[in-house]
Amino acid sequence: MILRRLTKHVKDQNWFAVALDFLIVVVGVFIGLQVNNWNEARFERMDTRNVLERLERDFELQLTLTNRSIGQQVLVLEATSRLITGIRTGDLDEQTLNEDVALVDSVSAFPGPSAAFQELVSTGRMRLIANGDLRDELYEFDSAVTFGREVFSGSFTAPVDELARVLARAKILVASGTPSETFAQVGAVETVDHTVLLEDPEIHIALQNAYLIQDNYHLILIRYRNQIKDILELLAEERERAS
């Protein structure tokens, strides 16, 4: 329609009408591009808000789980310390002995990567995170957790595995024949052979080695918790800017 009119005006040498038609076309194209850009910007803002909300949920969950693991590590370290002291002095704490023996060869859950962050990276949408500090913190946390999981699934936890092996000589587990209903029931100790616990030198050595590992693990969890808190603060600032 516009092309026919433009051709007719050119043939008629109606240059004002030609200019007007041309202007209409240019303005129409400009408005169309602007609307398209506006829609794309609106969708990107919505995508950004969704991404930030997902990241925030991920890291709030990580904070909860990491705090729980830190609390568990404190209990493990206290139990290990009581056993080491009791063996050294020959005076075991009978009130906590069974629970301590059941607890000392366990390892708390390790923080996991953020699924929302990994999806952002894999889909090439990290541009949605405008804050460079936040991007750096997300990459650093993901790398640290990935490396930490590789280390803690390998030789680093060997002393805890060795403690479990030698400590089995001194403990008799509850074996009721009824499946456990809670994780606290798994590995529960019925009785402890005091003589083996006090006189087997391998157990004392294994307890000390495991204590060092558990203490290191506790410090690493504290570091992860601090990283998670920093990320959550940056996420809150970024969400405020994006709203």
Phi, psi of 189 (to 5 degrees): -100, 130
Residue type at 236 in one-letter notation: A
76-81: which pairs have CB atoms within 8 A and are 24 or more residues apart? 76/103, 76/104, 76/106, 76/107, 76/108, 76/214, 77/211, 77/214, 77/215, 77/218, 79/103, 79/104, 80/104, 80/207, 80/210, 80/211, 80/214, 81/211
Q: What is the mean pLDDT of residues 64-74?
A: 95
Q: What is the pLDDT of residues 177-206, one digit of tens each?
A: 677 666 666 667 778 899 999 999 999 999
| Local confidence band at 209 (pLDDT 50, 70, 90 cut-offs) | very high
Q: Which residues on neighbouring strands pair with residue 172, listed in sequence order?
A: 191
Closest CA to 79 of 102, 104, 98: 104
Domain of residue 36: give its range: 2-242
Q: What is the pLDDT of residues 132-173, one digit of tens each?
A: 999 999 999 999 998 888 877 666 789 999 999 999 999 877
Identify whether the C-beta of residue 104 lies closer than 8 Å to the C-beta of residue 76: yes
pLDDT exceeds 90 at position 42: no
Residue type at 217 in one-letter notation: Y
What is residue 134's predicted lDDT score, i.e. its pLDDT? 93
What is residue 124's predicted lDDT score, i.e. its pLDDT? 87
The larger pLDDT score, comparing residue 20 to residue 208, is at 208
How many separate domains does the chain show?
1
Q: What is the pLDDT of residues 94-129, one digit of tens each?
A: 999 999 999 999 888 888 899 999 998 998 888 888
What is residue 208's predicted lDDT score, i.e. its pLDDT? 96
What is residue 97's predicted lDDT score, i.e. its pLDDT? 93
Closest CA to 159 of 220, 209, 215, 218: 209
* Average pLDDT of the chain to the nearest whole number: 83
Q: Give the single-character DSSP code of 129.
A: -
Q: How far apart are CA 135 and CA 132, in angstroms?
A: 5
pLDDT exceeds 60 at position 13: no
What is residue 177's predicted lDDT score, i.e. its pLDDT? 66
Q: How far apart are CA 231 and CA 89, in angstroms?
A: 46
Q: How far apart are CA 85 and CA 95, in angstroms?
A: 15
What is residue 81's predicted lDDT score, i.e. its pLDDT? 96
What is residue 8's predicted lDDT score, i.e. its pLDDT? 58
The C-alpha angle with vertex 166 and arms to 161 and 170, in degrees rounded to 5, equals: 130
